[in-house]
Amino acid sequence: MARSGAVGALVVAAHTAVNAWLLRNPAGSAPVRERVSVVLPVRDEADRVHTCLTALLASRDVADLEVLVYDDQSSDGTDTIVRKLAAEDPRLRVLTGPEPEPGWLGKPHACARAAREATGTVIVFVDADVTVAPHGVARAVGLLRGAGLDLVSPYPRQVAVSVPERLVQPLLQWSWLALLPLRAAERSARPSLTAANGQFLCVDAAAYARAGGHAAVRGAVLDDLALLRAVKRSGGRGVVADGTDLATTWMYDGWAPLRDGYAKSLWAAGGNPAASLGQLAGLAWLFVVPAVAALRGSRLGLVGYLAGVAGRVVAARRTGSRSWPDALAHPVSVGLLGQLTALSWWRRRRGTARWKGRLLDGPDHRTPAGRALDRPRRALTGLDGP
């Protein structure tokens, strides 16, 4: 086990390095000649929404910009902050609506309602915990058009401060850099070859409509992955890209919000308990077993452990994350991921998973279409959707 795991870890490290080289990097900012609609779904985001919107409204090289904020029944004063900003800038519109209908989750519902009002030829979806750089929107649109893609997901730089954050958050970027063949994923319509991040997602409006928009993914907890899969099924192309210089996000401040955030969605990364167990067993074989063998004096185990650390370092440096000493704890990170996955399935089975005050996934919550969309999953990709 230790020998084969070590060899596998070396292969994964090499693949991570190749992907880091192949990862699409947006070109420098250039004027965008088309209308761009930015959609921001919010629910109880009073502590974040001002920073997010101020950054979006300061976007450069996007002469024809509209920002559509869908306030999803906020109760913490979010609407007051947004309406004040809208009164000062005509490019900003505030939308509201009813509670999601049965079969809809909150974020897809909010995105779908706002997208109906979008008038741009490009729609950019952003989360409230994201701060977009002044050139971020223009460069994302430039990559979308320059690469001939229908959807591009520039992965924001992830801020991690506390120990739990530093153990878990780097796995987001590492997962798709290490495990997903990026060029094949860009061309392939296979559901398993998909990575996206709904925190910052740029899509051609016509391709979005052909794919059915967020109505096609209404019950998907990982709506970002599901939306890219819908775009691919309708004949489009899309991929994750380097968004390190385009946007920054601090998803979770400490253990409790991080735990609850991952517990709401990790079950969906596998689709069923057996698949989740298989994914975690594979990660343990590659990155935990060699480390344990190294502690027992195995030189080959040490090689495997160092390969896992090297892959983490490559991913961290490519995506603007902290390399040292965090990468040394990669086996611990994998173990913590296993615990969070178990918790996620526990809450899923009990029907107690909540986000923003709403139950997410009772056993009969999703529509048949939503369940079908969620079946195929790849380990760890897109775990951070709200």
Where does the chain show beta strands of DSSP type E? 36-42, 65-71, 92-96, 122-126, 130-132, 151-158, 200-204, 238-249, 354-355, 358-359
Place of tokens 């795991």: 5
Look up residue 89 and give its two tokens: 């800038």
Burial class, 95, CB count within 10 angstroms (exposed 0-12 / middle 13-18 / buried 19+): middle
Regarding predicted confidence, which is higher, 266 or 369? 266
Evaluate whether 327 touches 316 at the Cβ level (below 8 Å).
yes
Q: DSSP characters for 197-263?
A: -TTEEEEEHHHHHHTTGGGGGTT-SSHHHHHHHHHHHTT--EEEEEEEEEEEE---SSHHHHHHHHH
Percent of the chain with pLDDT over 70: 93
Q: Residue 161 phi/psi, 5° resolution?
A: -115, -60
Q: What is the pLDDT of residue 235?
A: 93
Q: DSSP characters for 8-21?
A: HHHHHHHHHHHHHH
Burial class, 342, CB count within 10 angstroms (exposed 0-12 / middle 13-18 / buried 19+): middle
User: Who contacts 268 (Cβ-Cβ below 8 Å, separation ≥6)?
Assistant: 220, 221, 222, 374, 377
Percent of the chain with pLDDT over 90: 79
Evaluate whether 261 touches 251 at the Cβ level (below 8 Å).
yes
Q: What is the pLDDT of residue 361?
A: 53
**By three-state DSSP, how is residue 265 classified?**
coil
- Cis peptide leading into residue 325 (ω within 30°): yes
Q: Residue 35 phi/psi, 5° resolution?
A: -80, 135
Task: Say yes or no to pLDDT of 386 above 80.
Answer: no
pLDDT digits (tens, 9 = 90+) for 201-211: 999 999 999 99
pLDDT digits (tens, 9 = 90+) for 117-150: 999 999 999 999 999 999 999 999 999 999 999 9
Q: Is the dihedral of CA 106, 366, 357, 203 positive or negative?
A: negative
pLDDT digits (tens, 9 = 90+) for 322-359: 999 999 999 999 999 999 999 999 998 888 777 777 77
pTM reported for the whole predicted model: 0.89
Average pLDDT score, the chain: 90
pLDDT digits (tens, 9 = 90+) for 243-290: 999 999 999 989 999 999 999 889 888 888 999 999 999 999 999 999
pLDDT digits (tens, 9 = 90+) for 42-77: 999 999 999 999 999 999 999 999 999 999 999 999
- 358 strand-pairing partners: 355
Interior CA angle at 170 toward 238 and 232, to 5°?
15
Question: Distance (Å, rounded) from C-alpha 140 to C-alpha 152?
Answer: 8
Rama region for 375: left / alpha / beta (φ>0; ψ in -120 to 50; rest): alpha
